[in-house]
Amino acid sequence: MFDDGYNPAKTKAGVKELQEGTGIFAWVGGVGTSPGLAVKDYLMEKKVPWISPSAGSMHWVSPPEKYLFSVYPLYFYEAKILVKYAVETLGKKRIAIAYLNDEYGKSGLEGMVEELKARGLEPVAQVPVEAKDEDLKPHVMELKKSEADTVLLWTTVGHSVRIVGTAKAMGFAPQFMGSSTTSDFVFMNYISKGLWEGVICSTFGQVTTSDEPEIVKYKKEIFDKYAAKEERFGQFYTSGILYAEPLIEGLNRAGQGLTREKFVAAMESIQGFQGVGPVINFKPYNKDEVYCRQGSQTSFLIQALADGKTKILTDWIKME
């Protein structure tokens, strides 16, 4: 494991060092679309199975890759689900978006625009945010001028908190909605000093404050026993478990005499598997079938309450 600081150059150097030095049988996780794209071709060339990139990018599945298995729901569809809820359930009509000007942000933008178009609506504002931007007053001013009643945040955790905080200071109070990137409400409440209350997010992992059997099991048998003192049992922590669960299932199915090809065949046989995340289904590799490597197609919506608590708004929603 290594920290690339969300820097694609460091991702590429680190993965290459691990592969050519220690050696990699399979790669699990890897945070971010841009960092992931920096190593995707390299891993596929080396035939290293990559399980669960920690980003919901269409680049993982279109075109499909034999050695890449995606678990993270697609950002494109997360945005569509949020827009659908805003319009149908909340009765919102003036929807805007602040998006990171990279593949991650643009995926959310595209999903939002498509869902609004299907409903005869258009975004009232589309505000790009650069990774280096720190002063977000101009961005929030543009959102406020649009008179948006809902703002989707397809930005980093830090940018999202700054936007909500700046909006509060400006007396601008739309319904904020975020991707799964900002769905760890205990963490978001802490760094926003309570301002995250009321934000609605898409997510795909069981709420860590729940009493679901899997959550209780991992808390007692893994976190309490092995986690470092500074760690916190939150959505981001259990995301790592969620990404690794299909890998373990694949290894168990592959059995003795393990090879990469045998492991890939075992991964392709996974159907109806569910741990602390969505139901996972993979199919045999077919270069003409985009979703043969997209394991999950469901998310659900949650809303932040005071003190980082969570209100579950919907059941699992299938991405159409």
Q: Residue 201 has what pLDDT?
A: 97
In a domain, 105, yes or no: yes
Over residues 97-107, the pLDDT tens digits come to 999 998 889 99
Q: Residue 114 has what pLDDT?
A: 96
Phi-psi region of 54 (alpha: psi -120 to 50; beta: other; left: phi over 0): beta
Q: Picking from 32-36, 71-75, 96-100, 296-300, which range would have the lowest pLDDT averaged per residue?
A: 32-36
CB atoms within 10 A of CB 319: 16
Separation of alpha carbons 72 and 29, rounded Å: 10
Residue 102: CATH number of its domain: 3.40.50.2300
In a domain, 248, yes or no: no
Mean pLDDT of 165-176: 97
In a domain, 88, yes or no: yes
In a domain, 47, yes or no: no
Mean pLDDT of 129-142: 94
Half-sphere exposure of residue 59, counting CA atoms within 13 Å on the CB side? 20
Over residues 81-134, the pLDDT tens digits come to 999 999 999 999 999 999 999 888 999 999 999 999 999 999 999 999 998 999
Separation of alpha carbons 73 and 54, rounded Å: 10
In a domain, 16, yes or no: no
Q: Residue 55 has what pLDDT?
A: 85
Number of domains in the chain: 1
Q: Coil, helix or strand for 94?
A: coil
Domain that holds residue 109: 75-207+300-318
CB burial string 111-142: b at 16+ within 10 A, e below: bbbebbeeeebebbbbbbbeeebeebeebbee
In a domain, 165, yes or no: yes
Half-sphere exposure of residue 23, counting CA atoms within 13 Å on the CB side? 1
Q: Residue 26 has what pLDDT?
A: 95
Do 54 and 31 contact (CB within 8 A), yes or no? yes
In a domain, 197, yes or no: yes
What pTM does this model have? 0.88
In a domain, 269, yes or no: no
Reported as a pLDDT band with limits 50, 70 and 90, residue 290 is: confident
